[in-house]
Amino acid sequence: MRWRVLGPVEVTVDGRVLPISRPQQRAVLALLLLNAGRVVSAGHLAEALWGDDPPSSARTQVQVCVSQIRSALRPAGLAEVLASTGGGYRLAVADDDLDLARFTHAASRARAAVRAGDPETAARELTTGLALWRGPALTGAAGAFVRAAADSLDEQRLTGYEQLASVELTLGRYDNVLRTLQPLVAAHPLREALVARCLLALAGTGQQAAALRLYADTRDRLVEELGVEPAAELTEAHLRILRQEVTPAAVVPEPGPGPATAPAQLPADLAGFTGRAAALRELDRLLPETGTTPGADTRRAVVVSAIGGTAGVGKTTLAVHWAHRVAHRFPDGQLYVNLRGFDLDGRAVAPDEALRGFLAALHVPPQRIPNDLDQQAALYRTLLADRRMLIVLDNARDCDQVRPLLPGAGGCLVVVTSRDRLTGLVVTEGAHPVTLDLLSPTESRELLGRRLGRDRAAAEPLAVDEIVHRCARLPLALAIVAARAAANRAFPLDALAAELAELAETAGPLDALDAGDPSTDVRAVFSWSYRMLDAGSARLFRLLGLHPGPDVAVPAVASLTGLPPARVRPLLATLTRAHLLVEPVPGRYALHDLLRAYAAELCRTDDSDAEREAARHRLFDHYLHTTHAADDLLDPYRLAQPVDLEPARPGVTVDARTDHAWATRWFGTEHQVLLGTVAQAAATGFDGHAWRLAAALTTYLDRRGHWPELAAVQHTALLAAQRQNDPAGQARAHRGLAICCTWLGRYDEAHRHYRRDLELYRDLGDDTGQAHTHLGISWVLAREGRRRDAVTHADRALALYRTSGYRVGQAKALNNLAFFHARLGDHRLALACCRQALALHEENGDRHGVALAWDNLGYVRHQLGQHQRALACYRRALLLHRELGDRYDEAEVLENMGDTHQAAGDRGAARHAWRDALAIFDDLDHPDTDRLRAKLAGPATYQPHAPAHGVALLAASGAGDPS
């Protein structure tokens, strides 16, 4: 068992991380661990989480967090270690199980060893303690106290490294000190204690000039940024170097063959390298194992790591940085060549040219280098056969360019970077592929912080976030902007961010990233990969600039191009190999925002207006027809009438399946794409596609509780239908907006939309549409507590449905009437309506309606005091809602079940159901969470809520009408 705060806040049992993942839960756990063994009052927890402005529900939220932590601990038998006592909470944790305690004890033992004159023991204790850190302290926790507490812990970590460096310097282990301190100095360039020790280590390895440069750079920064001169410790280290009081350690050369001077061809490492922790760990795993018995052969066959990624993602930077980190593991030296596989002039370095350079670095006289490529490669392999060397082959075009440069056997390691996947190396040479993606948001902010200065970045966090967004988290783009900001230190970062935004809107995002140097101009760098494509792949790349993103499936790509899916897949494979696309999951492809902007630029210049218009039309047809097919499967018995669709254009691929599960998965996968498509269709003159697609999205968005998104697409749809002067489209959009307003508690707006909806249907002479609207009005009135008025409108709807013979509408109206009558206390009439509704829904085959009817029936049974019968009804409703993926409906049923368990005297079952409902409401960010938290924290006699499910859930049918 391990309790951890030195990195992500977590608890592990037998290596398994317990499910304590929410930021607030982690914050409560962290505060209890920082006070392990002591009672922490609920008031102190609330103050720590929210500072001087806690919410009114602070104590309740603390109680809920503690309860959730106990629930996570319970399966491991640890719930009893978190005790409630004296108005607070106490977490009993043994020191050996808490990483902070173990680190503190190790540091204390190290100080004692130093006092006793035992630096070896001190170094061992500090190394052991510092190895407990897994990243920045308290990661994943969110609360007012976290920043200060994390800073305090990280200060202890830095102090530990300073103590370790002092001990290692005493032992003459200058190389160890440099490996440890150089990344820390890069991250904390003004921390004088670290810099002082780094100076001494540099001098101890014979690098006096580098030590003096570091001192001068540090002094300049101290004066410029803080207005102070170096303190005594740093000054004294500088004087010791000037007096030559630090003598380099003796260097004992390894025996064995090799050139007198080992080649060291690596380019300079990037100062302030940021992020890429996962990729670095992956590369570290390629190193030969250490710790073998003395005399054992630690060499192993050559390993090739093929680092791939899109242009500008930092492949070379990573390869060079890692190579510098591990260069000491390869005593026979490092070879490096830029193969220029994608350079501007199109002239790649030929294998024989690269081999000549390597052989020269290995001290082969020019006259002894063969002219034949095979003979050159054979000599190269012979020379490397008994050596341990690191070879970096940068910017390779393809496998053929790389293969002659691979050693044959021995202890060498090769790192290859390329924009191509180099699949052939993986298959035939056993290469280990490492693919780089964009930086994470955190890594992007860290990069800017290191380049600009942490204080400058911290002073304008919103501007930093905007710069990260505009640069699409592409390292090259971030470096360009950082260089511009560093060259103009007087520029506020928000002015720079505003300039990027303005240029992106007017000239285009790539113009904002033109550094004036072709080797670092983002557009030019992208062009090197694009120019290598064949005509079909190049056309596909351009057309992808028309897609709204964030990702795209094969049928949509096929529609965009007008080609069959079978012909599109090889083109997608080509773009993926070139890293102009990524395939994050099988069958879905994505390109980041800057590449999308580049593709769109090319499409505007290389493809005609007619070609772009036709491609867009096919793409919108694909999404419109497929979405309507999925919507029919999601709720074939929705109230809304089918939308008239024109036939899809030739070349359009339509996904057509036959089951509800596929429809649910399809909507979940295409969710963000469809929202972007509605907006893009409206913005490019395809208004009919925009409002029809929005109508087909209503069922899914409503059932999943995505009401703000539903409101946005319906607003776009309304404007599109108004531009088309299409009353049917306007009516659908008004109804969708009314549904959103009702869910969000904006009842006056909901009534306004329904009144306009009713006017439009009257003008159209559509009685069924009017019935739908009356049912919607009844729902709003019920939410307002005006239940008798709600009955009036539901009765009107039922009468209109019976006149038209529309049985689906009749069932939904009866379901609503059942709920209203139950709330008015007429339970027998409510029960009769429920039974009629259930029978009609079953006759119609409407599973969603059946689920709602069982839910309603359960509520009526509850009101009649028939608790076990009510629970049986709820279980049937719950099973159907889960099968259909109706998450809000599922949560409402769970809450109702909890109320019934409570009324039946089973408080434990009630809390279990409420907690499950709360988890769903939390995920949906729904306001009902406050009500549920109050129930969970309330007394054992809590009164059941007045659920809206009998009406509100019914409104989640089809196009959002009450059912």
> DSSP states of 450-482 as a string?
HHH-HHHHHH-HHHHHHHHHHTTT-HHHHHHHH
Tokens 């020379």 sit on residue: 383
Which among 436, 452, 471 is the end of a domain?
A: 436
- The span from the CA of 161 to the CA of 536, in Å, is 56
Pairing of strands 413-418, 390-396: parallel
Considering the domain architecture, whether residues 105 and 212 belong to the same structural domain is answered as no
Condensed to tens digits (0 to 9), the pLDDT of residues 395-406 reads: 888 888 888 998
Share of the chain above pLDDT 90, in %: 26
Residue 832 has pLDDT above 80, yes or no: yes
- Residue 601 neighbours by CB distance under 10 Å: 18
Q: Mean pLDDT check: name the lowest of 155-159, 243-247, 303-307, 445-449.
A: 303-307
Task: Output the pLDDT for position 326.
Answer: 86
Tokens for 771, please give them: 């019935």
Angle subtended by helix axes 907-924 and 887-903, to nearest 10: 160
Which among 408, 436, 464 is the end of a domain?
A: 436
- Residue 110 neighbours by CB distance under 10 Å: 25
Contact 832, 869 (CB under 8 A): no
Write the DSSP symbol of residue 953: I
Q: Is residue 18 part of a domain?
A: yes
Task: Output the pLDDT for position 70.
Answer: 85
- The span from the CA of 695 to the CA of 628, in Å, is 9
Q: Classify 882 in phi/psi space as left (phi over 0), alpha (psi -120 to 50) or beta.
A: alpha
Condensed to tens digits (0 to 9), the pLDDT of residues 780-821 reads: 999 888 989 999 999 999 999 998 888 888 998 999 999 899
Condensed to tens digits (0 to 9), the pLDDT of residues 652-664 reads: 999 877 777 788 8
Q: Is residue 568 part of a domain?
A: no
Q: Is residue 366 part of a domain?
A: yes
Tokens 């009439």 sit on residue: 829
Considering the domain architecture, whether residues 924 and 893 belong to the same structural domain is answered as yes
Considering the domain architecture, whether residues 398 and 448 belong to the same structural domain is answered as no
**29-38 per-residue burial string, b: 16 or more CB within 10 A, e: under 16:** bbbbbbbbee
Residues 750-761, mean pLDDT to the nearest whole number:
94
Q: Classify 422 in phi/psi space as left (phi over 0), alpha (psi -120 to 50) or beta.
A: left
Coil, strand, or helix at residue 521? Answer: coil
CA distances from 165 to 34, 207, 239 (A): 27, 17, 19
Q: Is residue 688 part of a domain?
A: no
Considering the domain architecture, whether residues 463 and 400 belong to the same structural domain is answered as no
Contact 833, 868 (CB under 8 A): no
pLDDT band at 429 (very low <50, low <70, confident <90, very high): confident
Q: Give every CB contact of residue 345 below 8 A, 6+ residues apart in sequence.
A: none
pLDDT band at 512 (very low <50, low <70, confident <90, very high): low
pLDDT band at 277 (very low <50, low <70, confident <90, very high): confident
Task: Output the pLDDT for position 760.
Answer: 94
CA distances from 199 to 127, 221, 270, 646 (A): 21, 16, 19, 75
Considering the domain architecture, whether residues 848 and 922 belong to the same structural domain is answered as yes
Condensed to tens digits (0 to 9), the pLDDT of residues 688-724 reads: 999 999 999 998 888 777 888 899 999 999 999 999 9
Tokens 């061992």 sit on residue: 124
- The span from the CA of 93 to the CA of 29, in Å, is 12
Max mean pLDDT among 82-91, 213-222, 476-485, 491-500 falls in 213-222
Residue 249 has pLDDT above 70, yes or no: no
Share of the chain above pLDDT 70, in %: 88
Count Cβ atoms within 10 A of the Cβ of residue 842 and give its class: 0-12 exposed, 13-18 middle, 19 or more buried: middle
Which among 521, 542, 570 is the end of a domain?
A: 521
Residue 427 has pLDDT above 50, yes or no: yes
More confident residue, 310 or 546: 546
- Residue 119 neighbours by CB distance under 10 Å: 18
Residue 949 has pLDDT above 60, yes or no: no
Max mean pLDDT among 9-18, 477-486, 570-579, 897-906 falls in 897-906
- The span from the CA of 37 to the CA of 57, in Å, is 27
State which residues form the domain around 924: 841-956
Tokens 């294998």 sit on residue: 351
- The span from the CA of 303 to the CA of 389, in Å, is 11
Considering the domain architecture, whether residues 312 and 336 belong to the same structural domain is answered as yes
Task: Output the pLDDT for position 962.
Answer: 29
pLDDT band at 638 (very low <50, low <70, confident <90, very high): low
> How wide is the angle at C-alpha 709 spanned by C-alphas 623 and 502, nearest 5°?
90
Considering the domain architecture, whether residues 281 and 424 belong to the same structural domain is answered as yes
- The span from the CA of 835 to the CA of 604, in Å, is 61
Tokens 């370095």 sit on residue: 349
- The span from the CA of 926 to the CA of 30, in Å, is 27
Residues 852-877, mean pLDDT to the nearest whole number:
93
- CA 877 to chain CA centroid, Å, is 34
| H/E element, 418 | strand 413-418
Considering the domain architecture, whether residues 308 and 426 belong to the same structural domain is answered as yes
Residues 635-639, mean pLDDT to the nearest whole number:
66
How do the residues of the chain divide into helix, strand and coil, expressed in percent and rounded to 5?
65, 5, 30
CATH number at residue 871: 1.25.40.10
- The span from the CA of 451 to the CA of 445, in Å, is 10
Residues 139-168, mean pLDDT to the nearest whole number:
88
Residue 289 has pLDDT above 60, yes or no: no
More confident residue, 422 or 515: 422
Q: Is residue 60 part of a domain?
A: yes
Q: Is residue 357 part of a domain?
A: yes
User: Shortest CA distance to 444 belongs to which of 485, 483, 484, 472?
Assistant: 472
Mean pLDDT, all residues of the chain? 83
Considering the domain architecture, whether residues 281 and 414 belong to the same structural domain is answered as yes
User: Shortest CA distance to 681 belongs to which of 723, 647, 641, 634?
Assistant: 723
Q: Is residue 771 part of a domain?
A: no
Tokens for 825, please give them: 């206390």
- The span from the CA of 598 to the CA of 521, in Å, is 12
Q: Give every CB contact of residue 550 below 8 A, 6+ residues apart in sequence.
A: 590, 672, 673, 676
Write the DSSP symbol of residue 51: T
| DSSP per-residue letters across 215-245 | HHHHHHHIIIII-----HHHHHHHHHHHTT-
Residue at 813: amino acid letter = A
- The span from the CA of 937 to the CA of 328, in Å, is 60
Considering the domain architecture, whether residues 486 and 430 belong to the same structural domain is answered as no
Residues 200-212, mean pLDDT to the nearest whole number:
87
Residues 158-181, mean pLDDT to the nearest whole number:
88
Task: Output the pLDDT for position 792.
Answer: 94
Q: Give every CB contact of residue 628 below 8 A, 6+ residues apart in sequence.
A: 643, 645, 692, 696
Considering the domain architecture, whether residues 427 and 445 belong to the same structural domain is answered as no
Calculate the CA dihedral of residues 665, 666, 668, 673 and round it to 10 degrees: 160
Tokens for 14, please give them: 């037998």
| DSSP per-residue letters across 778-816 | HHHHHHTT-HHHHHHHHHHHHHHHHHHT-HHHHHHHHHH
Residue 955 has pLDDT above 50, yes or no: no
- The span from the CA of 718 to the CA of 694, in Å, is 9
Condensed to tens digits (0 to 9), the pLDDT of residues 566-614 reads: 999 999 988 887 777 878 788 899 887 778 888 888 998 899 999 999 9
Condensed to tens digits (0 to 9), the pLDDT of residues 291-303 reads: 333 333 333 446 6
Residues 237-257, mean pLDDT to the nearest whole number:
61
- The span from the CA of 580 to the CA of 599, in Å, is 10
Coil, strand, or helix at residue 578? Answer: coil
Task: Output the pLDDT for position 185.
Answer: 87
Tokens 């507590």 sit on residue: 785
Q: Is residue 255 part of a domain?
A: no
User: Shortest CA distance to 29 belongs to which of 14, 9, 46?
Assistant: 9
Condensed to tens digits (0 to 9), the pLDDT of residues 513-571 reads: 655 444 555 666 677 677 778 999 999 999 999 999 888 999 999 999 999 999 999 99
Contact 41, 49 (CB under 8 A): no
Task: Output the pLDDT for position 513.
Answer: 60
- The span from the CA of 753 to the CA of 213, in Å, is 71
Give the chain's domain count: 5
Considering the domain architecture, whether residues 110 and 188 belong to the same structural domain is answered as no
Task: Output the pLDDT for position 460.
Answer: 85
| H/E element, 395 | strand 390-396
